[in-house]
Amino acid sequence: MSKTTNILLSGVGGQGIILASKILATGLMNSGYDVKMSEVHGMAQRGGSVTTQVRFGEKVYSPIIGKGQADILVSFEEMETAKWMEFVKPEGTVVINTFRIPSAPILIGKADYPEGVIAEVKSNVENTQLLDAATMAKELGNVKAMNVIMVGALVKGLGLTDINWEDVIKSLVKEKFIELNVKAFNLGFNAVK
Amino acid sequence: MKKLMTGNEAVARGAFEAGVTFASAYPGTPSTEILENMAQYKADVYCEWAPNEKVALETAIGASIAGARSLAAMKHVGVNVAADPLFTFGYTGVTGGMVLVSADDPGCHSSQNEQDNRYYAKFAKIACIEPSDSQESLDFMKEAYKISEDFDVAVLFRMTTRTCHSKTLVEEGERVPVAMKEYVKQPGKYVAAPATAKKLHPIVEDKLVALEKFSNETPLNRVEMNDKKIGIITSGVAYQYAKEVFGDKASYLKLGFTFPLPMDKIRAFANEVETLYVIEELEPFIEEQMKVAGIDCIGKAVIPRIGELNPDIIAKAILGEDRPVVQMSEESIVGRPPTLCAGCPHRGFFYALTKKRNVMVTGDIGCYTLGAAEPLNMIDTVIDMGASISMGHGAAQAFAKNGVEKKVVSVIGDSTFFHTGVNSLMDVVYNGSNTVNVILDNRITGMTGHQENPGSGYTLMGTRAKEINIPALCAAIGVEHIQTINPLILDDVSKALDEAFAFEGPSVIITRWPCVLKKFSPEDIKEFDLAPSVCEVIDEKCRGCRVCTKTGCPAISFNKETKLASIDKTMCVGCEVCLQSCPFDAIEKVGK
Ligand code: SF4
Ligand code: SF4
C-alpha cells in the first residue's frame, strides 16, 4: 500500500464539516500533495450523521478508506465519535469536540444520551484528545466557528505547520467571515499539543 | 493550475469544454450538482431543470437531432423514468453528440435501490463510458462527444456516488466551440415508425460491431503491465480501489469504455496473466460477458455484488487481509436518523394527520418521506417518484372492492407532483377514486438542496418563470374538491382532512408554505408571514406530558431531570406547531 494519510471527519448535518474538509484539502493541495476528498450528501443533510474523508500523500488512489484505516478521526460531536471508531487504526489518533447534539430518539425520550463514550474511546485508542470547541467558539462570539477551530486543532496534530492556512481560509469563506475564521483556526491550533 | 473538483463539477466542465450548448436534468442525488455547475456556463450553454428525467432526455434528444451537442443528467433510478425514449434513441442515433449521465448509487447512500445502469447501455445498444476520478470525468466527457458523433450513437456516461462526490485534482482545458450541424430532415432516421425501426435495427447491430473494434483500440481501455501473477480487469472507481490494494504488484486492464467491451484486448490480457480477477462494483457486468465469450475469470465469487466497494473489502476478498477494528459497546451508539427540520411546513400537516384514525398513507420521494420516521410514523409506502397518488388509487379500489373501510391519503411534494404525480392524479380522476391527494407545496425542490421547479417561479439560469398554478391545474384535470391551506395551522389541516374524507370522489389538499431552509424570493416574502420568531416553554405551566415532543421537532426536547419540555432557541423558528399541540397552553410565542 502506498503511504497516504487518512483523515475522517464526523459530525452532524449543519456543523460545517464540508467547509472544514474543504479548507483542509485545499491547503494540502496548495502545498503539493495529491489529495482526494469524499463527502456525503442527501438525506444526511436533514440533521443526520455526516462524514467526510480526506486522504493525502504523494499519490492517492482511492477516495475512501475502509474499516481500521483512519490515521485520525476528528469528531465534531461526542456521540458521533462512537459510530466511526471502527474506522480508526488502534494506533491512530482521535480528536473529539466534547459538544453534544441529542438526536431524535433522545429528544423524544426513547433513548438517553450515551455516557461514557469518551472513556471507552480512550480505552481503545491511547492517543485521544478532547477539545471544548463550543465554549471556545462562544468566546469568539459565534458558535458556528466550531468547525474551523477543529481544523486548526487537526492541522496542528498533523504537523502541517508549513502551509499558509490563512490564505486558504481567505480563498474559501465569505469576506465578512474571514477574520472570525482565522481567529478560530488559530484558537484551535494553539489548543492542542 | 490544478483544482480540486468533484466528479460532478468535472462532468459539467468537460461538457462545457466539449462545446455542449444544451443541457437538461431533473435533480437527484448524486447527480444534482452536474446541472447546478452547468449554470455557471450559461453564457455558452443553455441549461434547464426538466420536470422529470424522461423530459430531460427527450429535450436533449431534440437538441441533438437539431444538430447541437447536448447533455442529459440524472440519477440511476431517473434513467428508469427516461428508459422509453432511450431505447428508441438507441436505434435512431444522433446528429449532434449526445451524452446521458447516469449517476448510480452503490451502497444506497440516498436512493431506494442499487441498480447497476451499465446494463442500460447494453440493453439500449448504446456506448458506455466509466470514469474513475474527476480528471477522467472531464477528459472522458470530451471523448464521449467524439465517439457519439463518430459512431452516430448516444453515450451512457456512468458515474457513481464516489466519482460524483469525491474531490480530486483536475487540470482544466479550454472550451472548443462546436458549430451546430446543419439540420436536414431525415424521416428514415428519426421517425421511428415500425417500418423505419425494422430498418434501423440491423444498422444498430453494425454500429455495435464497429464500436467493439473501437473499444479494442481506444486508449480509454488501457493495460498496465506489472507482475503477471495477478491480473485485474476493472472499471470506474473500483480501479482506484484495486490500485490502492495492489499498487504495482499486479497488472491491470483498466476499462474506461465498457460497452461494447474490448473482448480481444481482454482475451490478450487474460492470456498474459496467471490469475485473472474482475473487480467491479455491484453487478458482474464485465464478468458475465467475458464468461459468455469463454474467458475464465474470478469475479463475484469473491467480490461482493451488494453495496459499495472499498479497498479493504478487496484486500480481504482477494488477499485474505483482515484489519484489527475498534469495537465500541452497543450502549455508546444511538442512531441519528435524518428528521424534518425545525419549522418544516410538512411537520404541521403530518402531526395533524396523526390524529386521524383508520387511514393508509401512501408516500413518495422527497423531504416528506421523513414523515415515515418516529415520532410521526405517518407513511405506509414509498416506492418511486409519483407513485403515492397512483398507489393510493390502487389501494383504495382494492379496499372498496373487498369491503374494507379505510381512508387512503396520498402525499406528494410539489416537485414530485410535476415530475410524475400529475399523471397519477389523472388516473385517480379518470377512474373515479375516493382518495385524498395532498400536495405538500413547500415552494421549492427541498430534498436535493433547493432547486427551482415549474411551481417556484424561477429557472435554473435564474430568470423569472411562469408559475404553475397547482389548484387550477388540478381543476383542469377534473378534480372537483380542492382546498389550499396553511399546514402550520393544525385546526385548518384537520378540518380540510375531514372535509376531504366526507367528499365523495377524488379530492386535493394543497399545503402551501415555503421550506424553512429556502432562500425566500421577493414573492415569498410578499405572500407569507416569514418574520422569524421563537417559542418558549413556560415552566410553571408545563406538566411534562410530552405531547409537544410528539410533533418531532428537533428543537424540542424533554428533560428527564426537571420533567419539563424545553425549546432550543437557536433552532426554533416560531412556526407554532408545538404551541398548538400543547394541551396546557404551556408554550408561548416570545418574538425574537
Ligand atoms: S429542507 Fe425544507 S422541506 Fe425539507 S425537511 Fe427541511 S424544512 Fe422541510
Ligand atoms: S415553534 Fe415549536 S415546532 Fe416550531 S420550530 Fe419552534 S419548537 Fe419547533
Chain B CB within 8 Å of residue A108 CB: yes
Contact (CB, 8 A) for A177 and A147: no
**In degrees, to the nearest 5, what angle opens at C-alpha B76 toward C-alphas B238 and B232?**
15
Average pLDDT over residues B36-40: 97
Please tell me the distance between residue B515's alpha carbon and the centre of ligand 1 in angstroms. 5
Distances B27 to A130, B6, B176, B461, B466 between C-alpha atoms, Å:
40, 17, 27, 14, 20
Give the 3-state secondary structure of residue B38.
helix
Judged by its nearest atom, the ligand closest to the C-alpha of residue B490 is 2
In tens digits, chain A (193 residues) has pLDDT values of 348 999 999 999 889 999 999 999 999 999 999 999 998 765 556 778 899 999 999 999 999 998 999 999 999 999 999 999 999 999 999 999 999 999 988 988 888 999 999 999 999 999 999 999 999 999 999 988 999 999 999 999 888 988 999 999 999 999 999 999 999 999 999 988 7
Q: Which amino acid is at A178?
A: I
CB contact under 8 A, B550 and A108: yes
B418 secondary structure, DSSP code: I
Q: Which ligand number lies closest to the CA of residue B416? A: 1
Q: How far, in Å, CA of A143 to CA of A40, rounded? A: 23
Chain A contacts of B331, Cβ < 8 Å? 114, 116
CA of B577, closest atom in ligand 2: 3
pLDDT at residue B252 above 70? yes
A32 burial (CB, 10 Å; 0-12 / 13-18 / 19+) is exposed
Is residue B553 lining ligand 1, measured as CB closer than 6 Å? no
Over the stretch B78-123, which tens digit does the pLDDT of each residue have?
999 999 999 999 999 999 999 999 999 999 988 999 999 999 999 9
Query: Cα–Cα distance between B295 and B261 in angstroms, integer?
Result: 13
Instruction: Provide, rounded to the nearest whole percent, the portion of chain B with pLDDT above 70.
Output: 100
What local confidence, expressed as pLDDT, does residue B337 receive?
87
β B98-104/B155-160 pair status: parallel
Q: Please give the pLDDT value at position B391.
A: 98
Tell me: the pLDDT tens digits for B546-587? 999 999 999 999 988 899 999 999 899 999 999 999 999 999
Which residues in chain A have Cβ-Cβ distances shorter than 8 Å to B168? 35-37, 60, 63
Sign of CA dihedral A102, A105, A108, A109: negative
Residues of chain A numbered 32-71 and touching chain B (CB < 8 Å): 34-49, 60-69
How close is the nearest chain A Cα to the Cα of B271, in Å? Answer: 27
B535: enclosing H helix or E strand: strand B535-537
DSSP at B41: G
Q: List beta partners, residue B439.
A: B412, B510
**A–B: how many Cβ contacts below 8 A?**
195
Assess whether pLDDT exceeds 80 at residue B591. no
| CA closest to A87 among chain B residues | B325
Find, in chain B, the residue whose alpha carbon is nearest to that of A111.
B334
Q: Please say if the pLDDT value at position B6 is more than 60.
A: yes
* pLDDT score recorded for residue A42: 54
> What gap in Å lies between CA B435 and CA B410, rounded to an integer?
7
With CB atoms and an 8 Å threshold, state whether A79 touches B332. Answer: yes
Which is nearest to B553 in space by CA: B540, B566, B538? B566
Contacts of B4 in chain A (CB under 8 A): 22, 25-26, 29, 35, 37
CB of B344 within 6 A of ligand 1: the answer is yes
pLDDT digits (tens, 9 = 90+) for B415-463: 999 999 999 999 999 999 999 999 999 999 999 999 999 999 999 999 9
pLDDT of residue B285: 98
Look at B332 and A90 and tell me if their CB atoms are within 8 Å: no
ipTM: 0.93
* Best CA proximity match to B391, nearest among B360, B430, B350: B360
Q: A35, B168: Cβ pair inside 8 Å?
A: yes
pLDDT number for residue B218: 98
The pLDDT score that the predictor gives to residue B352 is 98
- Cβ of B433 less than 6 Å from ligand 1: no
Cα end-to-end distance, chain A, whole Å: 29
- Helix residue ranges per DSSP H, B111-261: 118-124, 134-151, 161-165, 187-190, 194-217, 237-246
For the record, the C-alpha cell of B9 comes out as 463539477
Q: Supply the pLDDT for residue B561.
A: 87
Residue nearest to atom 2 of ligand 1 (CA): B515
What residues are paired with B298 via a beta bridge?
B277
pLDDT given for residue B491 in this prediction: 98
Atom of ligand 2 nearest to the CA of B347: 3
Give B258-290 pLDDT, tens digit per residue: 999 999 999 999 999 999 999 999 999 999 999
Which residues on neighbouring strands pair with residue B221, listed in sequence order? Answer: B255
Closest CA to B40 of B18, B21, B12, B59: B12
CB contact under 8 A, A47 and B334: no
In angstroms, the CA B150 to CA B464 distance is 39
Per the document, the length of chain B is 592
Residue found by looking up cell 403530518 in the block? B350
Nearest-by-CA chain A residue for B338: A48
* Contact between B331 and A45 using a beta-carbon 8 Å cutoff: no
Selection from B163, B235, B237 nearest residue B7 by Cα: B163
Q: Which pTM value belongs to this model? A: 0.95
pLDDT digits over B192-222, tens only?
Answer: 999 999 999 999 999 999 999 999 999 999 9
Nearest CA to ligand 2 atom 6: B572
Q: What is the pLDDT of residue B481?
A: 98
Picking from B41, B40, B39, B30, the residue whose alpha carbon sits closest to that of residue B8 is B30
CB contact A168 to B (< 8 Å): no
pLDDT score for A44: 53
CA within 13 Å, CB half, B12? 24
**Least distant ligand from the CA of B518:** 1
The pLDDT value given to residue A2: 46
Reported as a single tens digit per residue, the pLDDT across A116-144 is 999 999 999 999 999 999 999 999 999 88
C-alpha–C-alpha distance, residues B281 and B107, integer Å: 10
Considering only the beta carbons, identify the residue of B6, B109, B335 that sits closest to A42: B109
- Tell me phi and psi for residue B275, to 5 degrees: -110, 130
Q: A132 CA to chain B: closest CA distance, Å?
A: 19
Amino acid at residue number A100: R
Q: At what angle do helices A178-191 and A165-172 cross, to 10 degrees?
A: 140
Per-state percent for chain B, helix, strand, coil, to nearest 5: 40, 20, 40
For chain A, the DSSP string reads ---EEEEEEEEETTS-HHHHHHHHHHHHHHTT-EEEEEE--GGGGTT-EEEEEEEEESS---S---TT-EEEEEESSHHHHHHHGGGEEEEEEEEEE------HHHHTTSSPPPS-HHHHHHHH-SEEEEE-HHHHHHHHT-GGGHHHHHHHHHHHHHT-TTS-HHHHHHHHS-GGGHHHHHHHHHHHHHH--
Given a contact cutoff of 8 angstroms between Cβ atoms, the answer to whether B314 and B242 are in contact is yes
- Which candidate from A38, A47, A85 shows the least CB-CB separation from B554? A47
Give yes or no for residue B276 CB within 6 A of ligand 1: no
CB B446 less than 6 A from any atom of ligand 1: yes
Residue from the list B165, B339, B556 with its beta carbon closest to the beta carbon of A38: B165
Chain B residues with CB-CB distance to A17 below 8 A = none
| B53-79 per-position pLDDT tens digit | 999 999 999 999 999 999 999 999 999
